[in-house]
Chain A
């Protein structure tokens, strides 16, 4: 039953609930798919066959007893290897955590399990989520299922590739500067960065605490919404968790009606560096929204041009502090402890051996930005830019319900092309960073293939904080209209693996 891997999460859950198929059959079909293609894709760092089958058996047993199943019970999921999983290795893509087995579950992991979602394994990522290509993983790059010689985006390239390669219908990512949305855009899948504080960070290995946000990824807008509802909500274990009801995202995803909505096109997200085919598909999407009955206006957010520089000061600054915990004393790698060296020397040797180049660059950059003499000019100014960006968003949202832009300036680039050119790599996140700095909500969904390279283009939708439902309302309508126009989903055009 190879079709099982092509079902949406919603279809799979319904089939399981109706008894058309067992959760074990669904899990096995996906484990077989992983077995068949993942040597080439490298989306997974760890496949937990035993755990997945046992979780699936539990769902089947619950159904047999006539107990009520949740809306995603028995649906398989690929979990980014940055969330802790009790008893299952967690590396954050780093050598410094190779072989580490967490003694506890992240809140998000626990919620997935409580929902009866079947965790297939842990997915590849840029080390500590620092990157836009998954090439910074200590465990080798992941291929983009559309063209295995190209990057699947990053840092959550493994999760996005697992979806596009039909290895899982659901995945989890984290988005600090675009790490859910940019991989979604370049793999033709859907990804949402929820409002900052609405999905718990407890058990999420920290990169930049004021920006990091876990979120849902899937192949359809409705599946993404179902997963969003399963993972979002207040958590007392996360001191930055928002104690408010989760917006009705599933309802919004089913609405498929944007009539009367006001949509703003961000003027600053265009021009030099933007691929012609990306802009073409984006402009067509804007036209489509107009045809669907939305009112489209152009808005200007002048401070967004300073978002990238501000981000690459704030995120490394927080990272330099967060990653100080990797000191070789309590868990993870320890190098050079031969009985003669001091703890300080062992720490420095371990971090040298355990961290990759991008992580080291960012730790040094962050240490620099926070050092006396540079603090005001760099970190202090970046914090002011953050205020200006929030003000630009506030002004824009006073006149429109959502903002739209391309998710990324270009389609997937070849593996290796920007690997040792950090600044070129940073440009991949130009359009996604402002939402992290402001803490609002944003989605990327596929809006076609760029004519010049036949690779997926992402449409970004941005909504005010705690108005995540608007993303799904607009995204659901665009997705339905595009699928109607094409007569199929975009991923059906992806080459067979």
Chain B
């Protein structure tokens, strides 16, 4: 299986919302290439007819009653916010100017 390139790592960092520095990119690309080389052994089983396991418990659609319960007050919920205004989280602009 092919290794990972510096360009791929840069792309993955962008997808992951990580503004990596240039030297970090160099270092991670090298380390990730080694790590991926080591974990690629799992593809030995790729062709085998084995069902995948995503979770140790066979639980599906766990529901609870839709009831009003005590919850955090707005002040409590906003207490850790970097910025808040009028009982809302204040965030940087999401859409562009135009």
- Interface residues of chain A: helix, strand, loop or mixed (majority): helix
Given contacts A343-B93, A386-B52, A423-B38, contact A236 B32 (CB under 8 A): no
Instruction: Give min CB distance, B75 to chain A, whole Å.
Output: 9
Q: Does A414 contact B (CB under 8 A)?
A: no
Partner of A239, one of B45, B56, B59: B59
Partner of B32, one of A346, A364, A380: A364
B29 and chain A: residue at smallest CB distance: A364
Q: Does B87 contact A (CB under 8 A)?
A: no
Interface size on B, residues (CB 8 A): 56
B38 and chain A: residue at smallest CB distance: A423
Partner of B57, one of A312, A331, A437, A439: A439
Q: Mark B52-92, 1 if CB is under 8 A from A, else 0.
A: 11111101001010000000100011011111000001011
Tell me which residues from 1 to 44 in chain B have a Cβ below 8 Å from any Cβ of chain A. Answer: 1, 4, 8-9, 12-21, 24, 28, 31-32, 34-36, 38-44
Report the bound CA distance from A346 to B19 in whole Å: 10
Partner of A368, one of B8, B24, B52: B8
* B79 and A103 contact, CB distance less than 8 A: yes
* A341 and B92 contact, CB distance less than 8 A: yes
Tell me which residues from 332 to 354 in chain A have a Cβ below 8 Å from any Cβ of chain B. Answer: 332-334, 337, 339, 341-349, 351-352
- Taking CB atoms, residues of chain A closer than 8 Å to B93 are 342-343
Q: Does A69 contact B (CB under 8 A)?
A: no
Q: Does A454 contact B (CB under 8 A)?
A: no
Q: Does A416 contact B (CB under 8 A)?
A: no
* A378 and B4 contact, CB distance less than 8 A: no
Partner of A332, one of B41, B80, B96: B80
- Taking CB atoms, residues of chain B closer than 8 Å to A39 are none
* A242 and B53 contact, CB distance less than 8 A: no
* B89 and A342 contact, CB distance less than 8 A: no
Partner of B40, one of A104, A309, A376: A309
Partner of A360, one of B20, B52, B94: B20
B45 and chain A: residue at smallest CB distance: A384
Given contacts A343-B91, A346-B92, A360-B28, contact A367 B57 (CB under 8 A): no
Report the bound CA distance from A68 to B92 in whole Å: 54
Instruction: Give min CB distance, B80 to chain A, whole Å.
Output: 4
* A309 and B42 contact, CB distance less than 8 A: yes
- Taking CB atoms, residues of chain B closer than 8 Å to A282 are none
- Taking CB atoms, residues of chain B closer than 8 Å to A324 are 17
* B54 and A383 contact, CB distance less than 8 A: yes
* B31 and A361 contact, CB distance less than 8 A: yes
Report the bound CA distance from A324 to B18 in whole Å: 11
Report the bound CA distance from A390 to B50 in whole Å: 12
- Taking CB atoms, residues of chain A closer than 8 Å to B46 are 376-377, 380-381, 384
- Taking CB atoms, residues of chain B closer than 8 Å to A349 are 19
Given contacts A103-B72, A360-B24, contact A197 B45 (CB under 8 A): no
- Taking CB atoms, residues of chain A closer than 8 Å to B39 are 308-310, 312-313, 378, 382
Report the bound CA distance from A376 to B46 in whole Å: 8
- Taking CB atoms, residues of chain B closer than 8 Å to A382 are 39, 42
Report the bound CA distance from A352 to B19 in whole Å: 5
Instruction: Give min CB distance, A423 to chain B, whole Å.
Output: 6
Q: Does A100 contact B (CB under 8 A)?
A: yes
Q: Mark A191-222, 1 if CB is under 8 A from B, else 0.
A: 00000110000000000001000000000000
Q: Does A58 contact B (CB under 8 A)?
A: no
Report the bound CA distance from A330 to B72 in whole Å: 14
Interface centre among A197, A371, A377, A381 (most CB of B within 10 A): A381
* B17 and A361 contact, CB distance less than 8 A: no
Q: Mark A301-318, 1 if CB is under 8 A from B, else 0.
A: 000001011101100000
Instruction: Give min CB distance, B91 to chain A, whole Å.
Output: 5
Interface centre among B8, B18, B46, B76 (most CB of A within 10 A): B18
Given contacts A101-B80, A103-B79, A337-B83, contact A384 B48 (CB under 8 A): yes
10 additional contacts, CB 8 Å, given A371-B15, A383-B54? Answer: A103-B72, A348-B14, A360-B18, A360-B24, A361-B35, A364-B13, A365-B32, A367-B16, A368-B4, A384-B45
30 CB-based A-B contacts, threshold 8 Å: A101-B79, A103-B72, A210-B56, A236-B64, A240-B57, A306-B42, A329-B82, A331-B81, A332-B82, A334-B82, A337-B92, A345-B19, A346-B92, A351-B17, A352-B19, A352-B21, A357-B24, A357-B28, A361-B32, A365-B35, A365-B36, A368-B12, A377-B40, A381-B43, A383-B52, A384-B45, A384-B46, A387-B50, A387-B51, A387-B52
Binding site for A on B (CB under 8 A): 1, 4, 8-9, 12-21, 24, 28, 31-32, 34-36, 38-46, 48, 50-57, 59, 62, 64, 72, 76-77, 79-83, 89, 91-94, 96
Q: Which 8 A-B pairs have the closest CB atoms?
A: A439-B56, A383-B52, A331-B80, A334-B82, A386-B53, A309-B39, A352-B19, A239-B62
